[in-house]
Structure 1
Amino acid sequence: MTARPSWAGRNYTLLTAAAVVTGMGNSGALIAAAFAVLALGGDGTDVGLVAAARTVPLVAFLLVGGAVADRLPRHRVMVAANVLNCASQGVFAALVLSGDALLWQMAVLSALGGTGHAFFAPAAEGMVLASVGGGQAARAFAVFRMGVNGAAIGGAALGGALIAAVGPGWVLAVDAAAFAVAGALRAFLDLRGMPEREAGGGLLGDLRDGWREVAGRPWLWAVVAQFSVVNAVVAAAEAVYGPQVAAEHLGGARPWGLALAAFGAGTVLGGLLMTRWRPRRILLTGALCVFPLALPSAALAVPLSAGWLAAVMFATGVALEVFGVTWMLALHQEVPEEKFSRVSAYDWLGSVALVPVATAAAGPVEAAVGRSAALWGCSALVVLLTAAVLCVPDVRNLVRRDGSAPPAVAATAAAAGVPGAAGPPEAAGSQPTVKAPPGGSGEDSASAS
């Protein structure tokens, strides 16, 4: 048995294990929810409405969740959110298995799941990198994401096969069990060495403070604004149009699950690449890797065969994982730890705010212009917005600062006695020293991705 790396301590191991478990369950559940709606006789509009029902409360409560996570112990917020997600998915599964599920019930339970995630996401963001020394931050986060994305491969493939064999209800039940296991693992995190947080100036004051942190960094708000649209159109393509294309042209849930698994395989390769590659211009590298996000929508528009679709999804996964790691490293390098959850909440809000609009509108847009034209429009928006972000000097010029731990990591890791965290970090939240100085859906990942 290979020895665990010295930097992979108890907290890192627990966080990774919990995220792997939920990654396995979530990847299958995303497919299952869509096919559960279709099995009831629903159409693309119904699939989009259920998906939107999850995202509306996510958008509504994200900022509150970020402020709460900067005031309370973050691991307790994460465990409470896991309990809510376990309960909502369990009831969802029971209704589907009984055969008595109604569309409005699915929407309400999806909304409860979205509420849980609104509190979970800001609290979880940064926990992994805070559990390791700054010198190992990039490698630790890449390995973490490799584990999560590897679980997504098995979860998507197994989920598609189980839906075809026994129906979507059992896949939703597995996801509920995964949330229970993950919550139990996170309850055992040891955060005795974490610094105490000051009470702050009230909820609204905390939110204003977080907004000032975002607005003062052009690279941050530019990428968040970009992904507010990119994530919306990608969600519409994959949550609404993808299952319909699969059902009509590819043979159903199994090939669609395999295509999503291929995407997961690509992210594993991208994560492996990022354990070795240390690009200096981290945001420029990440932004260039967003262009391939236009490819899956184009492949569905044609539509390509199941094999070619899987190949496209694989390549997209590699590129998106490079963006995910570089984005998270940029956040941790530039944002103070004590404000990280609030900034993360704004990041998440920008990333998901338009998703319910896009998923709810996907059906009517398809009826108006046709599915193929809608999918080509999704691809065009990804390309145009990514090109626009590259026009922002901060995105092109922000560089990795080697030789010290990122501010958000160093402050936490040093207090917790993490090896490798010693040494004076750069001023928390300082601007880069160069001239003219980012997610269905995985936990603890870069939110803009």
Structure 2
Amino acid sequence: MHSYARDLGLLRDRRFALLLSGRTLSVLGAAFAPVALAFGVLDLPGATASTLSVVMTAASLPMIVFTLVGGVIADRLPRQRVMTAGESLAAAGYLALGVMMLAGWTPMPALLVAAALTGVATALALPALTGIIPDVVPPDRLQSGNALLGLGANTSRVAGAVLGGGTVVLFGSGWALVVSGAMFATAGVLIALLRMDEDDRPPGERHSVLKDLRDGWREFRSRQWLWVVVAQFSLLIMAFEAGHGVLGPLLAEERLGGPAAWSAFLAGEAVGMFVGVLVSIRVRPARPILVGVLLCLPPALPYLLLGADAPLWAIVAGSFVLGVCFDVFGVLWQTTMQREVPAEALSRVSSYDMLGSLMFGPIGLLLAGPAAQRFGAEASLLGCAVIIVVSTLAALLAPGVRNLRAPAPAAPREAQAEA
């Protein structure tokens, strides 16, 4: 039996509480950014859907380029320091974007450089986050720790989607981006206070960067369930980036009422993720990857509704379903990786996961604007839904996806008895 009281007991651990607080505040800052950046760029003189595609790509592409280096750095250096550096870079990028928009000085090269800083920040912070969780959380409570981190993150997404859209409407995109940058800066301070012990670092000899990358690749490709789902997500994220980054905001601007409507969409998704994390605390499927991949089918629903000219309430309901499914998948995925991959290679494997999953994201962003101009936003969103469904069904053909089993339920009880 798993109890919420035992799960919440992790909050009494100082290091976990700091990690949770920093991660929650970082996600709150990130939740302000999509609405603020999208509508801030669209409000620039002469801006088009293609302009938005270029700026969003500038934020996404460096994340792809530097993610493998971020994984090597996080397996070599104290992960707490790597995360602190990532939060600081994100703060610099979003503060710069906000100040430029407030000042009315928005040359495209400067916007692209500031956006690129936020992408580099993500490439540093996320592999380190995946690796630091098993350093902080006991093995038998990994799923609970991931779920509580998700609970904090999703609470921030709910608040950020509402407050971010409200800040854009009331004060403008520039102030929303400044607030986002300040939140990242504060998150960096909290992570800096974590102070991990040297004994918590995974053991191992130092090698060249290329050897570290080869070893990480060996760990990655030796697990069919891992590379198949990453391949699936490379297509799914391409569709997701196009739909969320360009096509959705564009359709909201044209037909649904602008930033307030798109904030409602994001808020519905965030509320769904909040509900999803409550489910993920309790659910312990025997085949976590199979269940997780099946949960990737319903997220096509909001794109189908957007493309079919459905009313806003139905679209928001579809985004809620997307949020529930993605969050349960995320907790199951993170927990399975942390259990199955050796600790000393976890950040590198996580960086290959990120690289593979996100590598087509910039393509989705680049193609979204021209596709909307040629075929219309509605037809392009329907195409995104088709990509999600087809890629998910293809992943289910792999035996490794269908057959990987979680540890026996008795393991946590044995660990508790030994304690």
Flag whether TM exceeds 0.5 (same fold): yes
1:245-260 correspondence to structure 2 within 5 Å: 245-260=251-266
**What does residue 109 of structure 2 align with?**
104
Deviation at 1:200, TM superposition (A): 2.9
Deviations 1:280-330 (A, max 9, x none): 110111011000121122122122222111111111111111111111121
Distance 1:7 1:163 in 2: 36
Question: Cα distance 1:130–1:299, how it changes in 2: closer, same or farther (>3 A)?
Answer: farther
Q: Distance in 2 between matches of 1:103 and 1:257?
A: 26
Q: Which residue of 1 aligns with 2:87?
A: 82
Which residue matches 2:220? 214
**Unpaired runs of 5+ in structure 1?**
406-418, 424-449
1:313 equivalenced with 2:319 (yes/no):
yes
Q: Which residue of structure 2 lines up, in the alignment, with residue 52 of structure 1? A: 57
Find the counterpart in structure 1 of residue 155 from structure 2: 150
Partners of 1:74 and 1:420 lie apart in 2 by 27
Amino acid at match of 2:278: L
Q: Which residue in 1 is equivalent to 2:28?
A: 24
In the TM superposition, residue 357 of structure 1 has moved relative to its aligned partner by 1.4
Q: Distance in 2 between matches of 1:24 and 1:204?
A: 35
Does residue 166 in structure 1 map to residue 171 in structure 2? Answer: yes
Question: Aligned partners of 2:241 and 2:276: how far apart in 1?
Answer: 21
- Name the counterpart of 1:414: none
Q: Once superposed, which parts of structure 1, at least 4 consecutive aligned residues long, lie more than 4 Å away?
A: 419-423
Q: Aligned runs of 1:255-334 on 2, under 5 Å?
A: 255-334=261-340
Q: Which has the higher helix share?
A: 2
**Secondary structure at the counterpart of residue 247 of structure 1:** helix
Q: Which residue of 2 aligns with 1:429?
A: none
What secondary structure is seen at the aligned counterpart in 1 of 2:200? coil
Q: Per-residue deviation at 1:214?
A: 1.0
Deviation at 1:420, TM superposition (A): 5.1
Would you say the 8 A contact 1:45–1:363 is kept in 2? yes
Q: What root-mean-square deviation, in Å, do the aligned CA atoms of Structure 1 and Structure 2 show?
A: 1.8
Which amino acid in the other structure matches residue 397 of structure 1?
A: N
- Equivalence map 1:424-435=2 (5 Å): none
What does 1:341-380 correspond to in 2, within 5 Å? 341-380=347-386
Q: Relative to 1, partners in 2 of residues 1:386 and 1:4: Cα closer, same or farther, differing over 3 Å? A: closer
User: Which deviations, in whole Å up to 9, do the C-alpha atoms of 1:118-137 show, x marking residues without a partner?
Assistant: 11111111323431222222
**Alignment length (residue pairs):** 409
Cα shift at 1:422: 6.4
Q: State the 1:61 CA deviation.
A: 0.9
Aligned to 1:410: none
Determine which of 182, 201, 207 is the counterpart of 1:201: 207
More displaced, 112-121 or 382-391?
Answer: 112-121
* Counterpart Cα distance in 1 of 2:202 and 2:381: 48
Alpha carbons 1:294, 1:383 under 8 Å: kept: yes
Once residues 109 and 81 of structure 2 are traced to their aligned partners in structure 1, the CA distance between those partners, rounded to angstroms, is: 31
Pick which of 221-230 and 194-203 moved more.
194-203
Question: Contact conserved, 1:133 with 1:421, CA < 8 A, in 2?
Answer: no
Tell me the distance in 1 between the aligned counterparts of 2:304 and 2:7: 42
Q: Work out the CA distance in 2 between the residues paired with 1:13 and 1:214.
A: 30
C-alpha distance in 1, partners of 2:113/2:59?
8
Q: Does 1:242 align with 2:248?
A: yes
Q: Contact (CA 8 Å) 2:202, 2:344: kept in 1 or not?
A: no
